[in-house]
Amino acid sequence: MKKNVYDIAILGSGLSSLTAILKILETNPKLKICVISSNKNSSKECLSESSINYLKKNHTKIAKNISKKQVDNLLLKSSKRYKTSFIQTFNFGGFGSFWGGGLFPIHRKSKNFKEIYEFILKNFNVININKKNNKKKLTIRNNLFEIIEYDPKFIFNNFHKAGTKYIIDPGKEIRSLSEKFKFRVYGNTFLENFIFNKDNYIFTLSSSKNKKIYAKNIIIGLGVLNSPLFLKNSKFIDNENIEISEHKLYRIPFINLKALFNNYFFKQTDNNFFEKYRKFISLKESFLLKVIRRYLFIGIYFFPNQFFMRIPILNKLCNKKIIGFSQIYLGNEYRTSTLIISLSKNKFKQKIISKPRLNLFEIFNIIIFLFSKSLIPLPFKYSLKFGSSYHFYGSLKNKNIDFDKINITNNIEVIDSSTISSIGAEPSSFLLIKNSYLRTKKILKNFE
């Protein structure tokens, strides 16, 4: 029987895979491509009551919107045991089915910035929610610190029924693209490993259902843990442990004095552009703060309407934006937040090996900054566990493994954040798209 061989197989259905598909369709739409992704965990084991509670407590947004079989159950158990919040999901769309959509294209002088940003603006639906406010942006610069305000930008869906708008879900977008451009999607296929035949340069991909799929090139976007695991199961790497980094995250709830006065004394409501999208976005303002040499990202967030339905007073205060919270991500100028994890699937042993912290001067600057915006911090456990930011990276690009050095052929690329070696202080989607774009471009060179 003649084999059906794809020019490129894209593995995974998250934001990095969506980027790769868009780049391929833009450059060479005639290529025969397919997308292969899980939608359910291969393990039949269901989450226990205590794991469900753990999921609800540590990952509220994911718990609300995911089928329990789509969570990596073994990893969740391990994270519970080692007291981290590290999580991976097996749904079609990946993390991007739950994300906040925030895009921060802020390092305009960086290499390839113009090319990547033009690609994003052409292929994604980017919305700048503050644009209509016409408010002057805050900029303060002196020797010890600087603050620069950035408009939060969000990626919305391109395809929608009757004008429905929502934060982009890569899974829905990939399915719509496959209908439009007629490529095959293996939408519930859990990949186990691959074999590369050096004689004919063809990859044989094996799934848990013993299905075999053949491709001349593979683009791997299975996420920061599952891409290394897949490479290990395929005997491409032999590391027992990998290092995964993420943004250190602090969350500070606050009382918004301005909203309190406006609501209760002047009876004014803040009826701006943000309100229009508040159903699905919570980030209202964003700032990059540089204290001496380290950058910090400070986001001002408000809960979606009716978020605390069961606690009416809290619900009312949050609806009126009297209570909100600030998220602070630490840049990596001093230390990265890093975890070492064993790739043995029944164990997933974890150990935090590096834990950055805010120093006193940074804390002082953050408090002054919040006060200057009439935001009064409330007592809370501010420092969050490893995994809480979801901005993971670097598992195939650290001192123990360098994917680009061990790569045996230029027909394989890992496009997710495993192959990103460092990130700034801001949410990482711009870098994630950039990494996937540049690595997909390398694969496309094979067809020139």
Ligand X SMILES: Cc1cc2nc3c(=O)[nH]c(=O)nc-3n(C[C@H](O)[C@H](O)[C@H](O)COP(=O)(O)OP(=O)(O)OC[C@H]3O[C@@H](n4cnc5c(N)ncnc54)[C@H](O)[C@@H]3O)c2cc1C
- Write out the residues near ligand X by the rule CB under 6 A: 12-17, 37-38, 61-62, 90-92, 94-96, 98-102, 190-191, 221-223, 226, 230, 390-391, 416-417, 427-429, 432
The secondary structure of 94-133 as a DSSP string is: GGGGT---EE----TTSTTHHHHHHHHHHHSEEEETTGGG
Please report, for residues 104, 159, 263, 360, the alpha-carbon distance to residue 268 in angstroms, rounded to integers and kept in the order given.
31, 36, 5, 37
- Give counts: helices (H), strands (E), the chain: 13, 21
133: exposed, middle or buried (C-beta count within 10 Å: 0-12, 13-18, 19+)?
exposed
For residue 226, the minimal CB distance to ligand X (Å) is 3
Comparison of 100 and 331: residue with beta carbon closer to ligand X: 100
d(CA 240, CA 344): 7
d(CA 22, CA 28): 10
Comparison of 55 and 317: residue with beta carbon closer to ligand X: 55
Comparison of 186 and 320: residue with beta carbon closer to ligand X: 186
Comparison of 411 and 429: residue with beta carbon closer to ligand X: 429
For residue 309, the minimal CB distance to ligand X (Å) is 20
How far from chain centre, in Å, is Cα 244? Answer: 14
For residue 55, the minimal CB distance to ligand X (Å) is 12
Q: Which 3 state secondary structure label does DSSP give 361?
A: helix
Comparison of 190 and 386: residue with beta carbon closer to ligand X: 190
β-sheet bridge partners, residue 288:
148, 297
Helix axis angle for 429-445 and 113-123, nearest 10°, is 100
For residue 207, the minimal CB distance to ligand X (Å) is 7
Comparison of 17 and 51: residue with beta carbon closer to ligand X: 17
Instruction: Please give the backbone phi and psi of residue 418, each rounded to the nearest 5 degrees, phi first.
Output: -60, -35
Comparison of 51 and 97: residue with beta carbon closer to ligand X: 97
For residue 417, the minimal CB distance to ligand X (Å) is 5
Tokens of 297: 């990202």
Q: Are 58 and 385 in contact (CB under 8 A)?
A: yes
